[in-house]
């Protein structure tokens, strides 16, 4: 049975190239120049400021604010300058919206994806920030981060399903992942969707040992791993959303603040 579209998501398009003097970021005031940027109404934003504004998080959602702050801290500690945590969280929602209609579940998936690496707080800098390849003992240490992340989030009221995603985000559909070696649908749905997006972001982002590859190369690798690394359903959803994800990857950005707000259904007026 094919994947059914739950709703549609408008995508912010790439703007034509303009001279450095024509546009400045409406948030920080810096000249945008040749960098990627987004236009919302009549204002322009560089990627970092667009994601930092946080206006899509309504007042009265302290967990959301804390989750965003923790994700920023994690990316800074790993010297991740590409807003990885925020980006993969929003991209995971693109997939989740096709197969999940429950607003609370979507919120849990978003938080879990945003905080997937929170357990790396407990990984020593000598391992986490090592420039060369890790040895066997260092890999053993690195592989503790899903369990450590679960231990951090699980006691937090209202974060139970997000914690399950954090615990399972390194699992593989064929059972060869870690830390529990979960197989198939024993892996939470959110973690199965996240695994596809995490790989997409890894392949299309620069790494110390290689330059970013294009979307088509990433898509080819993801599709080829259906049934082994990835849930075939998650890959099916990915294929259905390729056009949207391609544009988002090209911009290295996320959905608009209004779209995140709608997706997470955080407005109190929607509550029964």
Give the model confidence (pLDDT) of 240-266 as tens digits. Answer: 999 999 988 887 654 444 444 444 444
- Radius of gyration of the chain from Cα atoms? 18
Q: What is the DSSP letter of 1?
A: -
Q: What is the DSSP letter of 44?
A: E
pLDDT digits (tens, 9 = 90+) for 111-137: 999 999 999 999 999 998 888 899 999
pLDDT value of residue 43:
63
Per the model's pLDDT, the better-predicted residue between 157 and 42 turns out to be 157
Angle between helix 232-240 and helix 189-203 axes, rounded to 10 deg: 60
The pLDDT confidence band at residue 48, using thresholds 50, 70 and 90, is: low
The pLDDT confidence band at residue 270, using thresholds 50, 70 and 90, is: very low
* CA 38 to each of CA 26, 32, 190, 238: distance values in angstroms, whole numbers, following the listed order: 10, 10, 28, 24
List the structure tokens of 201. 């972001």
pLDDT value of residue 219:
97
Give the helix ranges, DSSP H, for 225-272.
232-240, 242-251, 257-264
Of 77-91, 111-125, 214-228, 252-266, the least confident: 252-266
Q: Residue 153 — φ and ψ, nearest 5°?
A: -85, -35
Task: Find the mean pLDDT for residues 53-79.
Answer: 67
pLDDT value of residue 15:
41
Under 8 Å CB-to-CB from 91, ≥6 apart: which residues?
A: 197, 200, 201, 245, 248, 254
The pLDDT confidence band at residue 272, using thresholds 50, 70 and 90, is: very low
**Rounded Cα distance, 91 and 197, in Å:** 7
Q: Is the dihedral of CA 9, 10, 15, 21 positive or negative?
A: negative
Is 50 exceeded by the pLDDT of residue 56? no
pLDDT value of residue 11:
31
pLDDT value of residue 75:
77
Q: What is the DSSP letter of 211?
A: P
- Whether residue 94 contacts residue 84, with contact meaning beta carbons closer than 8 Å, is answered with no
- Whether residue 145 contacts residue 78, with contact meaning beta carbons closer than 8 Å, is answered with no
User: What is the per-residue burial (b if ≥16 Cβ within 10 Å, else e) of 165-184?
Assistant: bbbbbbbbbeeebbbeebee
Active-site positions? Answer: 120
Per the model's pLDDT, the better-predicted residue between 50 and 122 turns out to be 122
Residue 31 bridge partners (DSSP):
24
List the structure tokens of 119. 């357990």
């Amino acid at each position: 049975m094919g994947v059914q579209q739950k709703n549609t998501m408008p995508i912010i398009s790439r703007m034509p190239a303009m001279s450095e003097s024509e546009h400045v970021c409406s948030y920080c005031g810096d000249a945008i120049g040749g960098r990627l940027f987004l236009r919302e109404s009549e204002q322009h934003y560089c990627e970092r400021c667009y994601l930092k504004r946080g206006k899509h998080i309504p007042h009265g959602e302290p967990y959301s604010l804390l989750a965003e702050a923790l994700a920023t801290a994690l990316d800074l500690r790993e010297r991740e300058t590409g807003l990885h945590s925020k980006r993969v969280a929003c991209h995971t929602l693109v997939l989740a919206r096709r197969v999940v209609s429950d607003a609370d579940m979507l919120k849990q998936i978003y938080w879990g994806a945003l905080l997937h690496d929170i357990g790396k707080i407990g990984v020593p800098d000598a391992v986490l920030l090592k420039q060369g390849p890790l040895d066997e003992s260092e890999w053993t240490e690195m592989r503790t981060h899903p369990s450590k992340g679960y231990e951090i989030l699980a006691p937090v009221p209202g974060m139970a399903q997000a914690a399950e995603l954090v615990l399972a985000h390194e699992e593989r559909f064929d059972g060869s992942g870690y830390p529990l070696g979960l197989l198939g649908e024993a892996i939470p749905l959110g973690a199965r969707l996240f695994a596809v997006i995490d790989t997409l972001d890894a392949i299309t982002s620069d790494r110390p040992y290689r330059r970013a590859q294009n979307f088509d190369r990433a898509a080819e690798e993801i599709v080829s791993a259906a049934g082994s690394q990835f849930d075939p359903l998650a890959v099916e959803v990915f294929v259905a959303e390729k056009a949207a994800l391609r544009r988002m990857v090209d911009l290295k950005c996320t959905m608009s603040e209004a779209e995140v707000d709608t997706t997470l259904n955080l407005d109190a007026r929607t509550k029964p």
